[in-house]
Amino acid sequence: MLSNYNIILASGSPRRQQFFKDLDLDFEIRLKPVKEEYPHRLKHFEISDYLAQLKALPFKDELKANDILITSDTIVWHNNKAVGKPKNNEDAFNIIKALSDDTHEVITSVCLTTTTLQKTVNAITKVTFKALSDDEINYYIDNFKPMDKAGAYGIQEWIGQIGVTKIEGSYYNVMGLPTHLVYKTLLSITQK
């Protein structure tokens, strides 16, 4: 169904690239640097929607008629604010400590852009952690180096296996891409 389209994934994330391979999609990777800043008035999914759309802007003038550009952004939402990627080990510790023994939301927005339309969709997953000890948090940071992850953790890694007690919503969304939503939206765009 997608053979007439050229799918472009604008993401350097190995996890997102693997998801596209697992979905058995033919795609190419194109990367352009974008400063991930957003207006502070934005809240919740407005932030990830804005950033996913922002990441599509540098490609606007080079898309061809059969191209579908896919950009995305993931944030963690906790205590009414966005939690980004940690700056260093101390920041990672403080982020995970705040998420410990509590529930937060992982929000991923995906923006699909063609020459004639732009559609942004998002998924929200609630994740609950047990009370994590300082030793568990330090072990995770020292061994898994989660500096490239929103919320300072990867659910598929050790901390997810020992710490996550409940999840409501898409597991793959927490890993960085709501694959079911990407697939559904790709089909809706190509069947018009």
Catalytic residues: 73
- What is the gyration radius of the CA atoms in the chain, in angstroms? 17
Element (H, E) at 163: helix 158-163
* Alpha carbons 74 and 82: distance in angstroms, whole number: 10
Helix 89-99 vs helix 134-144: crossing angle, to nearest 10: 130
Q: DSSP labels for 38-93?
A: --TT--THHHHHHHHHHHHGGGGGG--TTEEEEEEEEEEEETTEEE---SSHHHHH
Cα distance from N-terminal residue to C-terminal residue, the chain: 12
